[in-house]
Structure 1
Amino acid sequence: MSSVFDLKLTVQPEHIDVLGHVNNVVYVSWMQDVATAHIEQLGLGLKEYIVLKHAMVAVEHHVQYRKAAVEGEEIILRTWLNDINALYSFRQYVFYRPKDKAVLFMGNTQWACIEIATGRPKRMSPTFTQAYQPILDTENPLDFSAYDA
C-alpha cells in the first residue's frame, strides 16, 4: 500500500517569472520532482528501473493553477497514486501553502510502463505493481492539518 508523500520546499529566486510569482513551468517540474522522490521512497526508483529494464514515463498531465506563490514561501508538494492497472499508473498532486492554508495547485498524471530499450509499452512487472499501490479509501489526501499551526 502506498500513501501520500510530501516534499517541502522554499520558493527560490529561479522559480520566479517576470510577473513576480512562480512560473507555470516550474509547477510541472515540481510534479516530476515529487513523483521521483516518492518512487525512490517506495524503493522502486530510477536505479531500479535500469536493473528491471522498464520504467514509467509521463503520458498525459492535467494541471490547475489556483493561487500564486512567491519567493521565500514554504510549499508542501504532495503526491499519491490513486489507480493502477497492467500498463498505467495514475498519480495526483496538490501543492499547499501552510501559512494561509491555501491550495496553490492541483494536477494529475497518467504514467505508462515502457521497456527502456525499445520505448514500447510493457506490462508492469509484479515488482512495479507491488510498489505502486493506490492510497486507501480511508486516507484523505487533502488533509493538511499536520502542517497547520
Structure 2
Amino acid sequence: MSSTFFDLKLQVQPEHIDSLGHVNNVVYVQWMQDVASAHIETLGLGMAQFLEMKHAMVAVEHHVQYRKAAFAGEELTLRTWLSEINALYLFRQYVFYRPQDQSVLFVAQTKWACVEIDSGRPKRMSPSFSQAYQPIPADLNPMDFNQYPPQPA
C-alpha cells in the first residue's frame, strides 16, 4: 500500500525570525522534524509505538536547499512524503510552500535509519515500519500545489 503526502499549515511567528528579519535556517530544520513527526503519527507508527517496540527511526543525513525567505505573519504549508524505503533506510522529502505568491521556499530530503533505542545500534526495520511507511505513487506530484491543494489543518 502506498502513502500520500502530508501537509501541515503554520503561520510564521516572531520567534522564528532572526536578526536579518526572516525565518532562521535552524527553524526550517525544526519544521522538518515537526512535519515528519505529525506525518508518522497519522500513519499510526509514531513515538508511542517506537517506545513500545524499543526501536525508532532517527535522522542520519539532511540535504536542504533554501530558495526564498519567509517572514513574520506569513501562512506556509509544510509538505512531506516518503520517497524510498529499504531494509535499513527511509528517505523523506519536504517542500515548504507559501500559497500567497505560490512560492516554494525550501526543499529538503532526510535519510532516516532504524536503531535500537537502548543501544543506538542500527537495526533492520520491522514489518511494522515497512507496512506503515510506504513511498508515494510515482504518478503523484507533491510539488504541484495547484492540483493537490493543501489539506485542512
Does the alignment reach a TM-score above 0.5? Answer: yes
Q: Deviations over 1:79-111 (max 9, x none)?
A: 000000001000000000000000000000000
1:88 aligns with 89
Q: TM-score, normalised by structure 2?
A: 0.95
The CA distance in 1 between the partners of 2:14 and 2:45, in whole Å, is: 32
Q: Which runs of 5+ in 1 are unaligned?
A: none
CA distance in 2, matches of 1:4, 1:22: 24
Using the TM superposition, give the Cα deviation of residue 117 of structure 1 relative to its aligned residue in structure 2, in angstroms. Answer: 1.1
The equivalences for 1:51-62 within 5 A come to 51-62=52-63
* Whole-Å separation in 2 of the counterparts to 1:88 and 1:46: 18
1:86-143, CA deviations, whole angstroms, 9 ceiling, x for partnerless residues?
A: 0100000000000000000000000000011110000000000000100000100101
TM-score by length of 1: 0.97
- Show the 5 A alignment for 1:102-113: 102-113=103-114
Task: Give 1:5-20 correspondences, 5 Å limit.
Answer: 5-20=6-21
- Separation in structure 1 between the aligned mates of residue 31 and residue 145 of structure 2, nearest angstrom: 18
- The DSSP-based 3-state class of the residue aligned with 2:107 is strand
The 4+ residue runs of structure 1 with deviation greater than 6 A are none
Alpha-carbon distance in 1 for matches of 2:3, 2:40 = 10
Measure, in 2, the Cα distance between the counterparts of 1:143 and 1:48. Answer: 32
How many percent of aligned residue pairs carry the same amino acid? 71
2:49 aligns with 48
* Partner secondary structure for residue 112 of structure 2: strand
Counterpart residue identity of residue 133, structure 1: Q
